[in-house]
A = this chain, B = another copy of it.
Amino acid sequence: MSTKSRVSFSQSLAKWIAPGIGIKRWLLLLLAGIFVAALGFAFFILNFLTAQNQQYQPVNWLFPVAAIAAGILMMSVSLFGYAHWLLLPYRKNQPAGIIDTAYAYSKRHKGIKVVAIGGGTGLPSILRAMKPYTSNITAIVTVADDGGSSGRLRRDLGVLPPGDLRNNIAALADDESLMTQLFQHRFNRGDLGGHAFGNLFISALASVTGSLESALIETARVLNIQGQVFPATMDEVDLIARVYIGGKEVTIHGESAITGAKGRIEEIRLSPPNVEAFAGSVDAILNADIVVLGPGSLFTSILPNLLVPGISSALRATKALRVYVCNIATQPGETDHFSVADHVLALEQYLGRGMIEVILANNAYPEENAGKNTVYVMPIPQDHEILQRYDVWMDDLVDVERPWRHDPEKLAGVLLQNRPQVRQNSVNGSVQKEADSLVKT
């Protein structure tokens, strides 16, 4: 690139006027259009002047009007041809209309600045919710993952586990695109069995570029994603938990083992504790309009991000609206029997009060499609202390097909459009009572 940028202006000009490159026809047509329109315009003025002085016979009014119309037509055709020619090398196999692409790009580029913090499974619903409205989305995800394909790559190649990064990058990409499908493709046979292609992609790019940061930038480019996905930290970090299992307290290392233990999590921490926050993540939080925590596993997806000291400092410093999106269903081995209030109290235990301003929780508990394993998160009891400390927004957020998950469109509606209405809902006791009746005892 460096040699290309050094070519002189005259060389560049020479290319514009080089024979046969297809641009001159459009510029000539533009000039011809201007000439014809100007001719019509000149005679228009002439007619106007002569109309005041009967000595000259005015030319036919039809000529100026026709010439101006013809000139405008020629200029329009030329501008379309010019645009088409310019875009040819860039549009290969990109069938979407030029103006659709330009319009969507321009609109999303000016959208609100959203930061979503969480992990692999819950966060994509926020990202899918926001990507039609803005390109200014930053997903911050944990890299403490040590299970599955990510865990194998972490052990085999010594790279940061890419799984959570991958899922969120895919959520910000065009779901229909072949590259996104490829990215989420899992090999099912042989040595490669179980590996997600996107994990191999990120890992190989990290090896080639020498850094995960460059790998993420290039991945974003190839998948043409809206926004960016950053790790909370680039340091290698493990998750350690004190867990009660059958009355005994044990210390468990590693995200996948903690979730697998199915005990009651007493405390969770990072090892080492003082890892450095990724600068891009800190910047994104400080410059955001809205920061959304979750949805996602409280102890293994959300808290591992917030336990990075730089991330929680940035959260305290930002002027963004800070919203905690509570899960719809409880997670076995992590948040059994947790109400919305229990989730928030757990956050307060680690982060203190004042870290978040708004609690966004679901108030629809459909039985259809829920299956036996879906245990809905219980609503906040009506006189609970946290109702004083936080703005609570409650709304129907469930995906009707899989009601243990958030519906991206409903989430977007609440976060972007229906704020006042939702605020009212939160102090409306009838909603609370209806929800209370669903609590399992």
Contact = CB atoms under 8 A, between A and B. Distances in A.
A248 interface: no
A112 interface: no
Dominant secondary structure of chain A at its interface with chain B? helix
Interface in A1-28: 1, 4-5, 7, 12, 15-16, 18, 20-23
A75 interface: yes
A251 interface: no
A204 B189 contact: no
Interface in A256-310: none
Contact of A1 (B44, B95, B209): B95
Contacts of A49: 46
Interface residues of A, number: 86
Interface string A327-347: 000000000000000000000
Nearest to A222: B222
Which 8 A-B pairs have CB atoms at the shortest separation, nearest pair first?
Answer: A156-B190, A42-B42, A90-B90, A89-B105, A38-B38, A38-B41, A42-B45, A15-B103
28 contacts: A1-B96, A5-B97, A18-B103, A21-B102, A21-B103, A21-B107, A38-B38, A42-B43, A42-B46, A43-B45, A46-B46, A55-B55, A79-B82, A85-B102, A86-B87, A87-B90, A88-B105, A89-B104, A90-B94, A92-B221, A156-B190, A156-B191, A157-B187, A157-B192, A178-B209, A182-B201, A185-B204, A200-B200
